[in-house]
Amino acid sequence: MDFLAKIYITLKESVLDPQGTAVTHALHTLHYRTVSDVRVGKYMEVTLSAASTEEASTLIRGMCDDLLTNPVIEKYTYELVEA
């Protein structure tokens, strides 16, 4: 079965996000003044095949822990859909 995993990676709350701050600032300059906060993270789309949703899920968690994120500063969530 083919799956598409959408993975959202963000910095942990305790870690400063200077990029988010910069974007907030830029939005304010552009008169989007009602924006109170921006957090910037990564978004990945991984296409893979697996025997079942469970297997796909295990694989995705494995990838995230092994490579796609650095647990010292980042956390992630994901969604899995059959493609």
Determine if 7 is a binding residue for another protein (CB under 8 A). Answer: no
Alpha carbon separation from 17 to 12, 32, 44, 68, 70 (Å, rounded): 9, 19, 19, 18, 15
For residue 73, the minimal CB distance to a copy of itself (Å) is: 15
Determine if 16 is a binding residue for another protein (CB under 8 A). Answer: yes
Pick out residues in 42-61 that bind another protein (CB under 8 A): none
Q: Which of 5, 11, 56, 64 binds another protein (CB under 8 A)?
A: 11
The dihedral sign for the CA sequence 48, 52, 53, 57: negative
Pick out residues in 9-68 that bind a copy of itself (CB under 8 A): 9-10, 20, 23, 26-27, 30, 32, 34-50, 59, 62-63, 66-68
Q: Are 46 and 60 in contact (CB under 8 A)?
A: yes
